Amino acid sequence: MANETPEVATGPLTGYTVVDLSRALAGPHAGMMFGDLGARVIKVENSGKGDDSRSWGPPFVGPEDNPQATYFFSCNRNKESIALDLKSETGKDTLTGLIARADVLIENFRSGVLDRLGFSTARCMEINPRLVILSITGFGHDGPEASRAGYDQIAQGEAGLMSLTGSGPDDMQRVGVPIADLLAGIYGSYGVLAALLERERTGKGKVVRTSLIAGMVGVHAFQGTRATVAGQEPQPGGNHHPSLSPYGLFNCRDGAVQISVGNENLWQKFCAAFDIDPATEGMAVNSERVENRPAVIELIEDRFSAFDAADLLAKLTEAGIPSGTVRTLPEVYQWEQALSQGLKVSVDHPVLGDIDLPGPPLRFFDAGASGEIETTRTAHDAPPLLDEDADSIVAWLADGN
């Protein structure tokens, strides 16, 4: 069972308490995931400036004398904030109390920093033997490069993702979001959930460790086995799939559309819709089309040049070909399908008032004889101001209930 805590939200983790010592993105993203699931998440920040990402911008919004970084908003909804000086006895005492009451502790300090502050793994488990600790580093907690600082773009490069991304070998690119940070947080969260399940059997906590480079290698997928099994060195392929064709972004008269012809049945349908001989030399089967990709692209874009994107998408849909457009982010947050999935939420921020944030990616349902009833958390809390909840947190610790 979770440690007793005030109920702050409805969700699968209601009743659990998470102490989030992390900053920037990987750890805070994990903490936000737990908050989305109903846990009480207490964000412990440095006194004075708080989380590094409070100053990351532009963009900043709000009054000139109290600007708010939208970066911070991206990974800190559904949390409370308390600012502590962990070098002071008062700060250490408060953190000790929080650890004693927590189910989960998240930290992404460099290896050894918590030890020097007096909160080694052994000490934390002594304070609370049921504690699950999530520890995220850049390059791993051991090994010859464990001491290196972890930053997303460096991890994308070092762990190979940039070697796969871009228009070609001479144009390697990072992914447009800090994917190494995000995946470390996601993998770490699923490790914590497994450890919490194990705790139900054993009554004991556990340390869960992951890193930015581990998250990157974890999503190499078929590109990884191309390297390890086939002995190939995958290269950036731009907007076209390295193992399927046609599968990618194709120009049309007024823009571009995406298609995914993932099997031979779809190739037959596609050819029928656009007056192409499916047995055209060098295009009869997928492996040939991959080898002759430039010719395939040229043929398809010749057919597509007669269509505007809207009409082309309608024709592709009618033919049963998976297809789509490329939306800007403002378009995504106005898209009815995204809104229907709860992917935009409104919160009341103490400085900015009502603002919209990207929503959580999971939904939950109770299934019964009368049908499904959604139980997903719908009321969300704005990212907190620095030290906003200190009084209530300290009172809760003092109360002991």
Give the active site residues.
Answer: 181
Kindly report the backbone phi and psi dihedral angles of residue 88, in degrees, each rounded to the nearest multiple of 5, phi listed first. Answer: -95, 155
Q: What is the DSSP string of 47-90?
A: TTT-SGGGG--S-EES-TTS-EEHHHHTT-TT-EEEEE-TTSHH
Closest residue by Cα to residue 46 from 387, 290, 336: 387
Separation CA 275–CA 262 (nearest Å): 19
Half-sphere exposure of 142 (CA within 13 A, CB side): 1
- CA 6 → CA 11, 33, 101, 382, distances in Å? 13, 19, 12, 18
Could you tell me the sign of the dihedral formed by the alpha carbons of 33, 401, 21, 142, in that order? negative
Closest residue by Cα to residue 260 from 206, 300, 230: 300
Q: Cα 30 from chain centroid?
A: 8
